Amino acid sequence: MKEEMVIVLDFGGQYNQLIARRVRECNVYCEVHPYTISLDEIEAMHPKGIIFTGGPNSVYGADSPQCAKEIFTLGIPILGICYGSQLIAHLLGGTVETAPTSEYGRTEVTVDASAGLFAGVNEKTICWMSHTDYIAQAPEGFTITAHTPVCPVAAMEAADRNIYATQFHPEVMHTQEGMKMLYNFVRQICGCSGSWKMDSFVETAIEQIEQKVGNGKVLCALSGGVDSSVAAVLLAKAVGKQLTCVFVDHGLLRKQEGDEVEAVFGPDGPYDLNFIRVNAQQRFYDKLAGITEPEEKRKIIGEEFIRVFEEEAKKIGAVDFLVQGTIYPDVIESGLGKSAVIKSHHNVGGLPDYVDFKEIIEPLRDLFKDEVRKAGKELGIPDYLVYRQPFPGPGLAIRIIGEVTEEKIKMLQDADAIYREEIDKAGLQSSVGQYFAALTNMRSVGVMGDFRTYDYAIALRAVETSDFMTADAAELPWDVLKKVTNRIVNEVKGVNRVLYDCTGKPPATIEFE
Ligand code: XMP
């Protein structure tokens, strides 16, 4: 299965999973491991190549992450990126210094197209730079294979020892020929045949789950969204009826969504699952009463979810494992990598400190949304589920600014249902990345039927995005917006104004809280 694996050694950069993803796009299996992993452990995995990631440190820093120099004698091809490239230079006798001119963003790099990494790459090519240090002098035995006007060693190689390094980031989209470079590394230099396919992720994940779970009982937190649906079907394939899916209706779902989820995963649906629906609406409303701070809402909902699961687990008896559909953007935005906390994604940062399960299984933790969708298709999950709109775990609570009340939930459910219906009617549902209504905490004066109103404003959001980590506001047709506005103010009691959110991410986020 994994006879062709490339490993990524994580030195703390932002794009570590992206590197792994790009390698997988070259049809080569790839795993990310911490830089602290031992040489014995590396050898035991028999990788065909090793990639050192970037990272925020300076190689000379007191606590800078390092690895044993002997890694270069294992005979495994190595590619160092950014910090990784500087580390190679540092460990092998080159010089790394603070660059007189830092480079950030798009940069034209001149490459030596005869170098192994740059076969087929244009001599002048746009790359993404992000560095304050640079390699001032390459180690002995290395050839400089790329430069910029201010960066003398933008890439270097010691082809006879199979060691390669780039100061820039080939893994990001902005490096126009980055995929070619990574392809050259994994397929030509490492000699991988590229026999791995996405369905091998499914097979591998199933094997790993089988091994981990053994005869144990598993509980899956199912929300009906893409991620948890894919996680549930994956688990069902691996452990069959040892799995019970628990769907907590926290009363913060979209209109009629609870019944829709039950129709798909319940006893009348296409899957042969143990399915339990827990109607815990009131319990969540009570806990959220009077709470206005977004992170507090998220933590309360995350904690309450786990408590409900624990209770269900006790009823089933002897449940060891909890499965969650956490995906990679949830992990990094919750600040569990090196990045700052943006928001505590429910399932990750929203977890309470103490969780009463032997282990949490998160089989999709390293995947991006579109990879999860691919896996969902491999598993035979129908398109209408695989391409569902993302919906956050804390649900409408984070689309209602300020205190959550039953009255506000009803208002928002109705407005959101109208918005989605009109987007569907206009045939825009698959061309917009994500769209939803939010209830602002703003009340303003209006006039309806000669009477003064003092009601809430609904905000409409629609974004173009593929990875949900960055997004642009979608330019929805004006006639659709007008229709939605008319219907919302006429049909939803308590709303007298509709606003459209024109902000991208960054600087905003997709959700409002
Ligand atoms: P933000 O608001 O961070 O959202 O730009 C990015 C994507 O993540 C979804 N999202 C969540 N998904 N649990 C989830 O499973 C959460 O707590 C959560 N918060 C945001 C959001 O809908 C968007 O697709």
User: What is the greatest pairwise CA distance in the chain?
Assistant: 85
Q: Is 510 exposed, middle or buried (0-12, 13-18, 19+ CB in 10 A)?
A: buried
Q: Confidence band (pLDDT; 50, 70, 90) for 189?
A: very high
175 neighbors 168 (Cβ within 8 angstroms) = yes
Gap from CA of 469 to ligand 1 centroid (Å): 9
pLDDT at 396: 97
For the structural domain made of 5-189, what CATH number should be given? 3.40.50.880
Q: Confidence band (pLDDT; 50, 70, 90) for 332?
A: low
C-alpha distances in angstroms, 265 versus 93, 305, 352, 377? 60, 19, 27, 17
pLDDT at 343: 57
Gap from CA of 510 to ligand 1 centroid (Å): 7
Res. 393: pLDDT tops 90: no
The residue assigned the tokens 């014995």 is: 40
Gap from CA of 298 to ligand 1 centroid (Å): 11
Q: Which of 82, 151, 192, 220 is catalytic?
A: 82
State which of 367, 511, 512 you would mutate to test the pocket of ligand 1, scoring each by most atoms of that ligand within 8 A of its C-beta.
511
| pTM recorded for the entire structure | 0.67
C-alpha distances in angstroms, 342 versus 84, 333, 362, 392, 461? 26, 5, 21, 14, 19
- What gap in Å lies between CA 509 and CA 94, rounded to an integer? 42
Gap from CA of 271 to ligand 1 centroid (Å): 27
Ranking 114-123, 143-152, 333-342, 455-464 by mean pLDDT, the lowest is: 333-342
Nearest partner of 350 among 321, 367, 369, 330, judged by Cα: 330
Helix (H, G, I), strand (E, B) or coil at 483: helix
**Residue ID of nearest Cα to ligand 1 atom 18:** 392
State which of 324, 330, 391, 512 you would mutate to test the pocket of ligand 1, scoring each by most atoms of that ligand within 8 A of its C-beta.
330
DSSP string, 104-124: EEEEEEEE-TTSGGGTT--SE
- What gap in Å lies between CA 305 and CA 298, rounded to an integer? 11
pLDDT at 507: 81
For the structural domain made of 405-500, what CATH number should be given? 3.30.300.10
**Residue ID of nearest Cα to ligand 1 atom 9:** 392
DSSP string, 372-422: HHHHHHHTT--HHHHTPPP--TTGGGGTB-S---HHHHHHHHHHHHHHHHH
Token representation of residue 508? 């905003």
**Residue ID of nearest Cα to ligand 1 atom 11:** 392
Gap from CA of 229 to ligand 1 centroid (Å): 16
- Ligand 1 atom nearest to CA at 369: 24
pLDDT at 271: 80
**Mean pLDDT taken over the chain:** 90
Mean pLDDT of 336-343: 51
Mean pLDDT of 382-409: 92
Res. 201: pLDDT tops 90: no
Q: Which of 4, 103, 157, 171 is catalytic?
A: 171
Strand partners, 454: 445
Asked if 82 is an active-site residue, the reply is yes
| Residues in contact with ligand 1 (CB, 6 Å cut-off) | 330, 333, 342-343, 345-347, 390, 392-394, 434, 468, 505, 509-511
Q: Crossing angle for the helix pair 257-265 and 226-239, nearest 10 degrees?
A: 20
What is the helix (H) or strand (E) element at residue 307, kind and residue range?
helix 294-316
Q: Torsion over CA of 66, 72, 74 and 76, rounded to 10 degrees?
A: 100
What architecture does CATH give domain 198-386? Answer: 3-Layer(aba) Sandwich (3.40)
- Ligand 1 atom nearest to CA at 225: 15
Gap from CA of 345 to ligand 1 centroid (Å): 7
Token representation of residue 384? 């209408």
Domains 5-189 and 198-386 share a fold: yes
What is the helix (H) or strand (E) element at residue 134, kind and residue range?
strand 124-137
Res. 265: pLDDT tops 90: no
Contacts (Cβ under 8 Å, ≥6 apart) of 86 = 59, 80, 96, 133, 134, 135, 167
pLDDT at 449: 87
Asked if 169 is an active-site residue, the reply is yes
Q: Confidence band (pLDDT; 50, 70, 90) for 349?
A: very low
**Domain residue limits, the chain:** 5-189, 198-386, 405-500
State the CB neighbour count (10 A cutoff) for residue 399: 26
**Residue ID of nearest Cα to ligand 1 atom 14:** 392
Exposure string of 423-435, with b = 16+ CB inside 10 Å and e = fewer, is beebebeeebbbb
State which of 344, 345, 372 you would mutate to test the pocket of ligand 1, scoring each by most atoms of that ligand within 8 A of its C-beta.
345
Nearest partner of 44 among 86, 5, 10, 73, judged by Cα: 5
- Ligand 1 atom nearest to CA at 390: 24
State which of 467, 468, 470, 505 you would mutate to test the pocket of ligand 1, scoring each by most atoms of that ligand within 8 A of its C-beta.
468
- Ligand 1 atom nearest to CA at 508: 5
- Ligand 1 atom nearest to CA at 302: 17
72 neighbors 163 (Cβ within 8 angstroms) = yes
Gap from CA of 511 to ligand 1 centroid (Å): 6
- Ligand 1 atom nearest to CA at 434: 24
Res. 410: pLDDT tops 50: yes
Asked if 171 is an active-site residue, the reply is yes
Res. 350: pLDDT tops 90: no
Gap from CA of 6 to ligand 1 centroid (Å): 30
